[in-house]
Structure 1
């Protein structure tokens, strides 16, 4: 039998044994066994070409290196996920800025929030109402404002609403722009109740009072 026939027969035997063990893929250990067997059975006067085997060995080494790198990166990713969760947990009990019109006063009787102006305004009006009864509680008129984010707040919420934790409803209106009087979508500071992970486990989420689940990556400000 020639060296080529011997190599083919040996390779067939190894692949057959591999299938019998339930592994349909030729792994690096199987390949090395095949190579060693062929080297032992080659014709010393007509040695087989080894360039292809060396290239295949290099390919196996590359694949093994990539697998090891992926494992390392996965470990780093898991560690970063745990770090993000631990960092987000420090927000429990604090207030984060989230879009919404409902806000509850803190223990000192204060509420605060922000709105974004797309163009300068001659004035900005903020109203605070009882979200249950609809009664108007307070109105603020801010002076001329440039485009961008503006902050607002009220620190004299009635003690009865502070104690009962009744939410206030915020309304923000800009006046004097090209569109005249324009209602704005406010954001308010709301308390973080708990921290968890998303359903796919890839991101950290916050359970925010009156707002439900909020992705931690969407938080830009807290206090």
Structure 2
């Protein structure tokens, strides 16, 4: 009988150590603090009366139990924070519907003769700056451009405005790519292209995936590719009835809380002026998480990278 009790105590102690290890690694993987406590009580019940558990060992295991509970609470709190941030992005994006935005994107569609305008984010002073237009599947290193908008010498870095209506040739209705190349010390370095357009709708995929906005003439782009939007942030939804707005598709937008987390800070969002218009910086634009756009003209580029040119 004593041998059985000893064996049961050893097995229980081994399981208890396993629970500690599993709980420390991930409190949500099966055994929680209640199971841990049950194992501890079982160990106490079947311990050898002639060699009871050491008090220091019991204190250590109780400390492990406390750590497990704290880890579980931390994981729960982090999950809640992540969900709230995701919902906040969705709610924020829904307020952009119908607004004019500045979005980093090289792809554009010509429909009914409509041509995009916007800015080139120039990192350096350049001896020459050109905006080259290509068909959607053409690579700059292998094809000649359909047309080139020459913007000339730029004596300082900053935002350089462009308008494709200034092209010498008219573009047929089709899908194109545009690339901005700055000549710096004899090398052509690609610069980020920002288009001015209108948000048509919002898509929230769920599961932590990027919130997407459908931009007129461009298509779906991630929320973080929008740098600014025109006007001030207004809680409670986008401006109804503006050009480019269309009805929400069934199942497109999940239910979001009525409380707007940006309502209290809307007046403090950073503002800029452009041609006498007030624009607001998109707080979800994360240039620090996007790779450098200084790609040599001769280097290949993926289709996705071409659609959403990265900036620092």
TM-score (norm 1): 0.60
CA separation of 1:47 and 1:30: change in aligned 2, threshold 3 A: closer
Aligned pair partner of 1:221 in 228, 232, 238: 228
Give the structure 1 partner of residue 42 of structure 2. Answer: 34
Task: Find the residue that maps to 1:221 and give its secondary structure.
Answer: strand
Give the structure 1 partner of residue 157 of structure 2. Answer: 147
Please give the alpha-carbon distance, in whole angstroms, between the structure 1 residues aligned to 2:44 and 2:189.
80
**Contact 1:35/1:53 (8 A) holds in 2:** no
Question: 1:96 and 2:102 equivalent?
Answer: yes
Mind listing any 5+ residue stretches in structure 1 that lack a counterpart? 16-22, 129-135, 157-165
Mind listing any 5+ residue stretches in structure 2 that lack a counterpart? 14-29, 134-146, 167-172, 231-312
Aligned pair partner of 1:76 in 65, 73, 81: 81
Runs of 4+ aligned residues of structure 1 deviating over 4 Å after TM superposition are 12-15, 23-26, 121-128, 139-145, 153-156, 166-185
Please give the alpha-carbon distance, in whole angstroms, between the structure 1 residues aligned to 2:86 and 2:186.
45
Question: 1:211 and 2:218 equivalent?
Answer: yes
Structure label with greater radius of gyration: 1
Structure in which a larger fraction of residues adopt helix = 1
Alpha-carbon shift at residue 55 of structure 1 (Å): 0.6
Alpha-carbon shift at residue 96 of structure 1 (Å): 3.0
Please give the alpha-carbon distance, in whole angstroms, between the structure 2 residues aligned to 1:177 and 1:49.
74
Give the structure 2 partner of residue 11 of structure 1. Answer: 9
Q: Deviations over 1:118-163 (max 9, x none)?
A: 44357767899xxxxxxx9xx896885422221245999xxxxxxx
- Name which of structure 1's ranges 56-65 and 177-186 shifts more when overlaid on structure 2: 177-186
Please give the alpha-carbon distance, in whole angstroms, between the structure 1 residues aligned to 2:153 and 2:192.
19
- Over the aligned positions, Cα root-mean-square deviation in angstroms equals 4.8
CA separation of 1:216 and 1:182: change in aligned 2, threshold 3 A: closer
Aligned pair partner of 2:68 in 63, 68, 87: 63
Structure in which a larger fraction of residues adopt strand = 1
Give the structure 2 partner of residue 159 of structure 1. Answer: none
**Contact 1:103/1:188 (8 A) holds in 2:** no
Alpha-carbon shift at residue 53 of structure 1 (Å): 1.9
CA separation of 1:60 and 1:142: change in aligned 2, threshold 3 A: same
Task: Find the residue that maps to 1:187 and give its secondary structure.
Answer: strand
